[in-house]
């Protein structure tokens, strides 16, 4: 480290909540909630990160109350927590209380996987996936149904219900998973959205469904409850994907979402510092901050150095990453490129990462490897 990290430890006002610093724990799927219900291990997992000094915790993705929201297979989606149902909500309230007791704030991330779920997947194999387009299985039946007005309305209502639960349970806001090739992102991405109606075509149409979700949430949580939207250009299936080809198109998308009620944009990139568009050095987070004039969270390899291009996040040949300095983060925040810095794998590996950074004990931080990914604590 050559630069002081003071900017990371400045308080930040988020809605009615005052964050103790500008470090966010990024959402990371953990697959440790049998039947969709978080356990005592879940409580301990989040409590430890709060005790480590993080300012805001965004939970792992949680399925909303809709039969097509998630699946129990393929294995990547087993034991994902729900944010509906008495048992799951009671468990999440215990998580929230434990995190608040450490001085950290917390929001749940709401998730619908869209066309990633297909007919034949559990828990109800008869339920097809839902998305912007219809996808046929090998036998000619619909594995995924294109959403119509009724299924859109039901899904929007499910998002709003889970957001209302978040407020009732005492969380500090709500986050939406609108990135990486899941439902909201599928509507935004031209490669997945070939609709010929008012939800397809240009950006004004492609962003319409996400705006309806946000507006419905705003209507039930009120004006002072922060809504965070995670978005990305890249997808799990295509690292080179683009929702917005140019800043003008990005501005159209962000403006619509701000009007609908988004307070914070969580900008997911694989490397937060890389330029977003040709002809400009600005990162995607910096462009989002400039165009939206809203709070922006940057995420992508903060605190870690992964010198080669990893093909897949869980690829055993490429998963290890070394601890690196935070000079790039500090420089970007001092420029005003973004407001908050989200840390994922580094905090997964070392729950005390924030406190060690604050105290200048970088040499004590554990590096990231497969054991960190698999270890729940």
* Helices first, then strands: H and E counts in the chain: 12, 15
Pairing of strands 322-323, 135-136: unpaired
Q: The tokens 């990453």 sit on which residue?
A: 321
Is 46 known to be catalytic? no
Domains of the chain: residue spans and CATH = 6-374 (3.20.20.70)
Give pLDDT, residue 314.
45
Asked if 160 and 216 touch (Cβ cutoff 8 Å), the reply is yes
Map residue 348 onto helix, strand or coil. Answer: helix
Give pLDDT, residue 229.
98
Give pLDDT, residue 370.
76
Give pLDDT, residue 304.
81
CA dist 50 and 17 (Å) reads 15
38's CB contacts (< 8 A; 6+ apart) are 32, 81, 88, 91, 92, 94, 95
Catalytic position from the list 12, 77, 165, 182: 182
Label residue 156 left, alpha or beta by phi (over 0 means left) and psi (-120 to 50 means alpha): alpha
Q: pLDDT (tens digit, 0 to 9) for every residue of the chain, 377 residues total?
A: 589 999 999 999 999 999 999 999 999 999 999 999 999 999 999 999 999 999 999 999 999 999 999 987 777 788 999 999 999 999 999 999 999 999 999 999 999 999 999 998 988 889 999 999 999 999 999 999 999 999 999 999 999 999 999 999 999 999 999 999 999 999 999 999 999 999 999 999 999 999 999 999 999 999 999 999 999 999 999 999 999 999 999 999 999 999 999 999 999 999 999 999 999 999 999 999 999 999 999 999 998 886 444 444 444 445 677 778 899 999 999 999 999 999 999 999 999 999 999 999 999 998 888 777 777 66
Give pLDDT, residue 144.
97
Pairing of strands 174-180, 135-136: unpaired
pLDDT digits (tens, 9 = 90+) for 117-128: 999 898 888 999
Q: How far is CA 10 from CA 20, 105, 329, 358, in A?
A: 7, 15, 14, 11
């Amino acid at each position: 480290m050559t630069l002081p990290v003071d900017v990371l430890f400045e308080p930040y006002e988020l809605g009615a909540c005052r964050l103790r610093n500008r470090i966010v724990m990024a959402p990371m799927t953990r697959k440790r909630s049998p039947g969709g219900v978080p356990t005592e291990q879940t409580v301990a997992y989040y409590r430890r990160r709060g005790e480590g000094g993080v300012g805001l915790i965004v939970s792992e993705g949680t399925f909303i109350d809709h039969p097509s929201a998630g699946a129990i297979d393929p294995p990547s989606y087993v034991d994902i927590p729900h944010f509906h149902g008495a048992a799951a909500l009671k468990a999440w309230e215990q998580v929230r209380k434990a995190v608040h007791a450490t001085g950290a704030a917390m929001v749940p991330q709401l998730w619908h996987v869209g066309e990633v779920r297909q007919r034949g997947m559990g828990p109800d194999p008869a339920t097809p996936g839902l998305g912007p387009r219809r996808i046929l299985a090998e036998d000619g039946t619909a594995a995924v149904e294109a959403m119509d007005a009724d299924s859109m309305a039901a899904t929007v209502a499910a998002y709003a219900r889970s957001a209302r639960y978040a407020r009732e349970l005492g969380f500090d806001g709500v986050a939406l998973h609108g990135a990486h090739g899941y439902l909201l992102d599928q509507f935004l991405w031209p490669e997945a959205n070939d609709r010929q109606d008012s939800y397809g075509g240009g950006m004004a149409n492609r962003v319409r469904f996400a705006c309806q979700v946000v507006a419905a949430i705003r209507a039930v949580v009120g004006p002072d409850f922060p809504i965070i939207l995670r978005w990305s250009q890249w997808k799990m299936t295509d690292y080179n994907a683009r929702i917005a080809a140019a800043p003008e198109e990005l501005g159209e998308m962000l403006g619509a979402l701000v009007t609908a009620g988004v307070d914070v944009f969580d900008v997911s990139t694989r490397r937060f510092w890389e330029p977003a568009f040709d002809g400009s050095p600005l990162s995607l987070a910096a462009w989002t901050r400039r165009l939206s004039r809203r709070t922006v969270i940057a995420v992508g390899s903060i605190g870690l150095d992964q010198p080669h291009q990893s093909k897949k996040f869980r690829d055993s040949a490429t998963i290890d990453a070394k601890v690196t300095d935070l000079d790039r983060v500090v420089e970007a925040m001092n420029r005003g490129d973004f407001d908050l810095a989200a840390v994922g794998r580094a905090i997964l590996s070392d729950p005390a990462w924030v406190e060690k950074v604050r105290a200048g004990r970088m040499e004590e931080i554990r590096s990231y490897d497969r054991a960190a990914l698999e270890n729940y604590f």
